[in-house]
Amino acid sequence: MNLAQKLGFQENAKLLIIHADDAGLSHSENIATIQSLKKGFVNSYSIMVPCPWFYEMGVFAKNNPQFDNGIHLTLTCEWENYRFGPVLPVSEVPSLVDKNGHFYKKREQLRKNASAEDVKNELQAQIEKAIKFGLKPTHIDSHMYSIGASPEFFDIYRDLGKKYGLPVLINKQLMKMVGLNPELNIKEGDFLIDRTYVGELEYFKTNKLNDYYNSILENLTSGLNLILIHPAFDDNEMKGVTVNHPNFGSEWRQIDFDFFTSEQNSSKLKKNNIELVTWNDIKKMHNNISYVKPFPKS
């Protein structure tokens, strides 16, 4: 019996999670994410615990448990003028930060400077902060997939999933994207997303992001698929956050929002026999798998 059948679908079903990253990053990101969930066809999101707007999104998550949400584990901060750092005191995780106490901008800097102990302590602290706030996450994933900066960090990521009884986002394409060899770092028992789709800068530069997303929906294949998007508004707040960073910048995020809140685009799910599933569906299924423990009581 394959995953689709375990979830109650036909063996060759086209399963899809449409997932919004970066909730908590800003007010603009939060409101766009909320509207994408309520009015669009986004069905999952994850929250960046270290960010200044975590509280707003955390309150929404507590008040709206019907929406699938995870923890967007964060070790990097790529923005030019909008900077943030760990939830732990800098003195406790000094290898994770630059001279100003902020996360490094690039995975390469994280790989070069961060200790595994500091990575583990900070990521665990982010999960604990979310749980103590009252959240009940359905999964964990990773901002910029920075947990793939080294095999040691990736092992920590996997182990945190086991500790907290949460499925973790593991996908060969994402691993290759960050330079982590899937053949060496995927282990027996890992739960894998078959295919992950993320927009590329070239699509944005050539005004073809909409074409890319449309092509995914029109040509989706059977198995478990994941579309990663970053909905926000092209407003002054997001322009300030993403200044000089067109890759996943404010204009790009507005395109994501517009596409995945369109009724016309939503209708393509039924047209193409696509079944939306959530991380929570997967988490419930994993309750029958021995390596996943019961969810810890907050």
pLDDT tens sequence for the chain (298 residues): 899 999 999 999 999 999 999 999 999 999 999 999 999 999 999 999 999 999 999 999 999 999 999 999 999 999 999 999 999 999 999 999 999 999 999 999 999 999 999 999 999 999 999 999 999 999 999 999 999 999 999 999 999 999 999 999 999 999 999 999 999 999 999 999 999 999 999 999 999 999 999 999 999 999 999 999 999 999 999 999 999 999 999 999 999 999 999 999 999 999 999 999 999 999 988 765 433 333 344 3
* Whether the Cβ atoms of residue 147 and residue 121 lie closer than 8 Å to each other: no
Longest dimension (CA), the chain: 54
| pLDDT at residue 287 in the model | 63
State pLDDT tens for residues 116-164.
Answer: 999 999 999 999 999 999 999 999 999 999 999 999 999 999 999 999 9
Q: What is the CATH T-level fold of the domain 12-286, as seen in this structure?
A: TIM Barrel (3.20.20)
Non-local (6+) Cβ contacts of 157 within 8 A are 73, 123, 140, 142, 147, 168
* Whether the Cβ atoms of residue 87 and residue 50 lie closer than 8 Å to each other: yes
pTM of the predicted model as reported, rounded to 2 decimal places? 0.94
| 183-222: b (≥16 Cβ within 10 Å) or e | eebbeeeebebebbbbbeeebbeeeebbebbeebbeebeb
